[in-house]
Amino acid sequence: MPPSPDVLVVDDVEAVRVSLAEALCEAGYNPVCVASAHEALAELSSRPFAVAVTDIWMAGIDGLKLIKLIRESNRDLPILAMTGGGPRLTIETAGALAEVWGAERVFVKPFDEDLLVRAIDAIVARPDARPA
Amino acid sequence: MSGLVLTNASPRIARRRRPSRAFEAWRIPLSWGARLVLCLMVLALGGPTQATAETSARFIGPLADHLLDRSGRLTITEIAAPGARVAFQPHDGRRAANYGPSPSPAAALWLRVVAPAIAAQAGDERVLVLREPRIRNVSLFIADGSGWKELRWTIGRPQVGAAFPTRYPVLTVPTAEVTGRTVYLRIETPSSMRASLWLHTDLDFLGASGVENLVFGVVFGILAALAMYLAAAALVARDATSALLSGLVLAYLGYVLGDQGFIGSIIWPGGIVASRIMSFGGTFLIFAMTLFYSRHFLRISAHAPRVSAVVRGLAFAMLGLTLVAVASVLVNDLTLRRFVAPIGITTILFCVVLVALSWRSERRRALVFIVCWGPMFAGGILRMLHDAVPAIGANPFAVNVNYLATSLSLLLSGFANAIDLQSRERQAYRSAEDSALRLRAFAESASDSFWECDRHGTIIFASGPTSQAIGLTPGRRLDDLLAGAQKGGEADPRVDLAASLTTGTEFRATVSLPVTAGGLDHRLIVFRARPAGPDGGLRGIVSDNTAEAAAEERLAQQRKMAAIGQLTGGVAHEINNLLHPIVNLSRRVARGIQAGDDRRRLLEIVAESGTRAATIVAGLLTSVRPTPRTDSHAPLGQALGDAVRSLRSMLPAKIALSFENYGDPGPMVDTNEAFQVLTNLVANAVYATRGEGHVDVRFKGSDTTGYVLSVEDNGEGMDHETRLRAMEPFFTTKQPGHGTGLGLPIVYGIIHAWKATIDIESQPGVGTRVTIAVPAQAASRTEPTHAAIT
């Protein structure tokens, strides 16, 4: 049995991290959950991940900035974005920006986590996917 | 040459071979102009010829020896005595004697003349005439054997056997007594002492004086008519120039009547003093009026105010001199007479100066002035030179030509004045017409309309597109028009109107008027008016502010929606973050519990509630964020048609849903979005009709004009307040539980992304129409797709 692919989950709301971790574990992934962009960058520099899932609207460095930072050092890491909306940017604007910076897809909370799992499955199954 | 012209003009004269043709020219009734031309020509050719033969009328003035008796004390005996101390100036045969105005009240002019030898028949009479109306007394002395026979003529008294006094000395003598004999004449006159002596046959004199009087009568008639016409014109047109000219004509008429002795003889026998007053006083009055008139006609005050003031002062001085002249006549003082010529020439010189001054600024007027007054000035100078330079001689023709020239000048001025008045009137009319046209052009090009009502509020004038559109037409009562206005929260405009009409204050009202009675189309009309004048009534503008008000409303709506969107986004973010684990974790846990277990059912309720909450949040977000897009796109028209088909099956049976599609296919849109827009609008319409009525969906337009989608119902309608709040999220008129208040906000969010605008027209009890306008250049959207919530 191949080792579970590592999935980095970045969200500042603990309940969301817990929920996603549950879903990913059940689906056979190894979720690594962090609460901020700083922690996420630290994790990314320590080891490779199959996929990164990040919230967009977060305190400190927000998701969009995080995607940009990741793209500066790592062109190939597949990124999925999530958002529940925010006061400054409308959801569609935030989503559009995330896609511009390299998020493969934007999920609008609350979304069905099965859809996220299926999206990750598809990424991992791609021939060019890097082994985690 | 003059003879030739005379011959042509009057064969009668030519047949009679009169020697003094110039004087004949004065008498024959030729046209004024022709006569003047003749006179001037004859003057230029050296004056009249002398009488040399037996004729019916002879000018014998140049044949008279003359003597001025300054004291007036000399008697005929002293004068005629052989070796008398005083000597007569011998005649030269060419010029008649002229001593100018009398040097003293007592002075007398003596003439000694050898009457031409005439073959006289028994009872034949000759008439000795002195054509000087100002002469007061004349004595004719005829040698009578041992002594002198004296024939006397006194001004204002009829001759023996005559009913009327003559205008000038006329002495009838038997031809036999005078022919070839020396006669003496003693003349007393305050005016020109001239030898204007004529010898007529009695018959000829009757005819000559008749014609003379007739010509003067015609001249007086013309002058009087001219004066009346000018006075009337002055009154009607309130024109000072006409008034002054009228005054000048009257002054001149009075002067001639007096000067030519008509007053005192024919008109008022015995009115000698009046005649003198009119003659002498009239002279200065003419000077005064000439100055006033010239100054005014040449518009001197506008171009040379100082000169104008001087001339005005001079003219008033002339008026003063007129009074002095009248007084001097009354006290029989002759001093002022000697200054008449210099004063007159000064007046003429001033007129010349005025013409020169106005030459630059008022050339046309100056030219007209020269043409009109040239004859009078020429004649006037001639007349005064006769007194000032006696050597010019007492040419009888030159004395009379003055009257003609002046009358001609007055007539010409009258014509010029009439033309000037008419052209000014035309100009004023044209300028009034121009300004009316200009104002009309302004009015027609303005979006505002203009109106006026009388003090009862009845429209008496209305012009412009808005007034036509709302039926603001003359004859209509503004009150009735305002009665049709949509009732709002503001005060009744009719009350304001009544107040403005009664108190004469400004009127302002903004009303919503139906385009057609009972229809949904309304116009926001703004009335603004001010009191029209002393008769009451109002005058002002009316403008159609419908478009501006709609644009303003839309802008306010956009701002409101943007603020709501900001707030919504923040709240949605928090709630969605909470809903996410609620929904997902409840489901996950529920999945791990056996079916049929009560706990699983309860957890599923939690998940379900979370999902429903998410739906509401999503709806809220849709007011600022379009529904996540599907992959299905279609032209708007087609998408709407599909949506209408799906809707029909879902609507109650008593709802008549019509769809009219007159448009081009329309811009490409997300079919789901189009469905959402139409569903929400139709759902509202159905709700407004309470499930019974008709809902009309219309789609029209093209790529160049843009597209318009409207959904209209005949339901209960909305009042103003409701209509303004209709787009707010969670604002609903429905019963609790029947609506979320997100229908129109969702529509708004979608069409906002289409760059379209939305307008709501509604009238309680009539219905509602929602109009969505997609501009021509609305770009096809390329928004990212989002994952949809399940």
CATH number for the domain spanning A68: value is 3.40.50.2300
Do B643 and B783 sit in the same domain of this protein?
yes
**B590 interfaces chain A, CB cutoff of 8 Å:** no
Cβ pair A57:B573 closer than 8 A:
yes
Domain-located, residue B244: yes
The β-bridge partners of B210 are: none
**pLDDT the model gives residue A86:** 66
Cβ pair B784:A99 closer than 8 A:
yes
- Is pLDDT above 90 for A58? no
The count of domains in chain B is: 6
Last residue of a domain, one of B189, B210, B231: B210
Domain-located, residue A68: yes
Do B14 and B64 sit in the same domain of this protein?
no
The length of chain A is 132
Other beta carbons less than 10 A from residue B735's beta carbon: 7
Last residue of a domain, one of B625, B649, B665: B625
**pLDDT the model gives residue B617:** 80
**pLDDT the model gives residue A129:** 64
Domain-located, residue A7: no
Query: Would you tell me which residues 754-783 of chain B have a C-beta closer than 8 angstroms to some C-beta of chain A?
Result: 783
Do B367 and B465 sit in the same domain of this protein?
no
Q: Residue B513 belongs to a domain with what CATH number? A: 3.30.450.20
- Is pLDDT above 60 for A116? yes
What Å distances lie between residue B407 and B226, B254, B281, B374, B679, CA to CA? 10, 13, 19, 12, 98
Domain-located, residue B435: no
Report the gap between the CA of A22 and the closest CA in chain B (Å): 8
**pLDDT the model gives residue B736:** 57
Do B669 and B782 sit in the same domain of this protein?
yes
User: B44 vs A48, which has greater pLDDT?
Assistant: A48
Question: Where does the pLDDT of residue A90 fall: very low under 50, low under 70, confident under 90, or very high at 90 and above?
Answer: low
Do B416 and B510 sit in the same domain of this protein?
no
**Cα B99–Cα B101–Cα B107 angle in degrees, nearest 5:** 80
**pLDDT the model gives residue B260:** 85
**pLDDT the model gives residue A109:** 85
Using alpha carbons only, how large is chain A's radius of gyration in Å? 13
Segment A21-50 shows an average pLDDT of 92
**pLDDT the model gives residue B47:** 36
Do B221 and B146 sit in the same domain of this protein?
no
Other beta carbons less than 10 A from residue A69's beta carbon: 16
For CA atoms B758, B761, B762, B767, give the dihedral sign: negative
Report the gap between the CA of A81 and the closest CA in chain B (Å): 11
Q: Residue B105 belongs to a domain with what CATH number? A: 2.60.40.2380
Mean pLDDT by 10 residues, chain B (790 residues): 34 39 37 45 38 64 90 88 81 83 87 84 84 88 86 84 82 86 90 85 85 87 94 91 94 90 82 88 94 92 91 95 93 85 90 92 91 84 69 59 84 90 90 88 78 90 82 88 72 86 89 75 86 87 84 78 75 86 90 88 88 80 54 85 82 85 86 84 86 89 89 88 77 62 77 86 89 74 36
For CA atoms B235, B236, B238, B241, give the dihedral sign: negative
Domain-located, residue B714: yes
What's the token pair of residue B64?
A: 């008279």
**pLDDT the model gives residue B122:** 75
Domain-located, residue A110: yes
**pLDDT the model gives residue B21:** 39
Do B634 and B621 sit in the same domain of this protein?
no
Do B218 and B193 sit in the same domain of this protein?
no
The count of domains in chain A is: 1
Do B192 and B152 sit in the same domain of this protein?
yes
Residue range of the domain that includes B666? 628-790
Q: Could you tell me which chain B residue has the CA closest to the CA of A99?
A: B784
Do B503 and B608 sit in the same domain of this protein?
no
Segment A92-105 shows an average pLDDT of 75
Domain-located, residue A61: yes
Do B513 and B633 sit in the same domain of this protein?
no
Confirm if B392 and B385 have CB atoms less than 8 A apart: yes
* Chain centroid to CA B419: 16
Domain-located, residue A4: no
Cβ pair B625:A92 closer than 8 A:
yes
Domain-located, residue A26: yes
Residue range of the domain that includes A78? 12-91+100-125
Report the gap between the CA of A17 and the closest CA in chain B (Å): 8
**pLDDT the model gives residue B780:** 45
Q: Which residues of B456-465 are buried (b: 16+ CB within 10 A; e: fewer)?
A: ebebebbbbe
Domain-located, residue B198: yes
* Distance separating alpha carbons of residues B147 and B243, to the nearest angstrom: 60
Domain-located, residue A65: yes
**A102 interfaces chain B, CB cutoff of 8 Å:** no
**pLDDT the model gives residue B404:** 82
Q: Is the ipTM of this structure higher than 0.85?
A: no
Other beta carbons less than 10 A from residue B731's beta carbon: 15
**A122 interfaces chain B, CB cutoff of 8 Å:** no
Last residue of a domain, one of B600, B625, B650: B625
Domain-located, residue B487: yes
Domain-located, residue A63: yes
Domain-located, residue B49: no
What's the token pair of residue B391?
A: 């050597």
**pLDDT the model gives residue B480:** 87
Do B199 and B225 sit in the same domain of this protein?
no
